[in-house]
Amino acid sequence: MRLNLRVPGHFGELIQGRLGACGPVVLVTLPCADLGVVAGCRPGRGLALHRAGAPGRGLALLRALGLAAPGRVAMRPLAEPGCGTGVSTASLVALAALAGWRGAAEDLAAACVAVEGASDPLMFPAPERLLWASRAGRALALLPALPRFEVLGGFWGPPRATDAKDSDFADISDLVAAWQGARALGDFAALASESAARSLARRGPAGDPVAGLAQRFGALGWCMAHTGAARGLIYAPGTVPEGAAAGLRAAGLRGVRVFRGGSA
């Protein structure tokens, strides 16, 4: 079976928290084309999943979308589930595509939320431009295009699966307002750093080394998966210093990589 369908994932969030002390959980995702899932299928009766999650969840998604099971499905996640790379949502998006889904991204997001209780915005073409209400599966605002940047990142600590009922996040309504008016990369990086710092102060885990690494290696800012293991340093294009990747590995980060983001 050829795994010839690829659904890109993300590398945690640039910002995440509550829109007001009692408001919804919102986020701005950080897309990463190197992550996500690859998938394929071949004819067969019913739905057989290999490394693609529980068949019951997949069948529930297909029912919600009015699709028939495509047959025997194989998927390979490009990072360990629970690391904050969108494997769960990407798997559902891939299954829908294999089953022939051609409908609106908004409807696919609603079906993902109905199945899992939360969703990343990976079914949209520019997910980083959405202020995303992850428990509702809908965009609350269109955000500015991000300047081009590079992230040097890896995974720190054990996997931490997202709990759709978890709403114990810091209030980031001020960061969202500032994000909507930001234009310079340094401003976006500073806001991402503040969101990550608030999350660690409120939720942990203790001992996270990434803020110190950002200062040591001259990053504009840093970011994280607020409910996962992804951690990253934000740089202007072409400015990741020599030795920084080795420094991340020495600090205990695994799967260290550099990837690009932004478009403006």
pLDDT tens digit sequence for 167-202: 999 999 999 999 999 999 999 999 999 999 999 999
| Cα–Cα distance measured from residue 175 to residue 131, given in angstroms and rounded to the nearest whole number | 12
Instruction: Report the pLDDT value the prediction gives residue 57, as an integer from 0 to 100.
Output: 86
Q: Which residues pair with 18 in a beta bridge?
A: 25, 171
| Cα–Cα distance measured from residue 211 to residue 233, given in angstroms and rounded to the nearest whole number | 9
User: What 3-state DSSP class applies to 208?
Assistant: coil
Map out the domains of the chain as residue ranges. 5-141, 143-261
Instruction: Report the pLDDT value the prediction gives residue 181, as an integer from 0 to 100.
Output: 97
Instruction: Report the pLDDT value the prediction gives residue 161, as an integer from 0 to 100.
Output: 84
Residue ranges of the chain with per-residue pLDDT less than 70: 1, 46-55, 264
Instruction: Report the pLDDT value the prediction gives residue 2, as an integer from 0 to 100.
Output: 77
CATH superfamily of 143-261: GHMP kinase, C-terminal domain (3.30.70.890)
Instruction: Report the pLDDT value the prediction gives residue 50, as an integer from 0 to 100.
Output: 54
Instruction: Report the pLDDT value the prediction gives residue 45, as an integer from 0 to 100.
Output: 73
pLDDT tens digit sequence for 130-140: 999 999 999 99
Q: Which CATH number fits domain 5-141: 1.20.1070.10, 3.30.230.10, 3.10.50.40, 3.40.50.300?
A: 3.30.230.10
Max intra-chain CA distance, the chain: 56
Instruction: Report the pLDDT value the prediction gives residue 3, as an integer from 0 to 100.
Output: 78
| Cα–Cα distance measured from residue 261 to residue 46, given in angstroms and rounded to the nearest whole number | 39
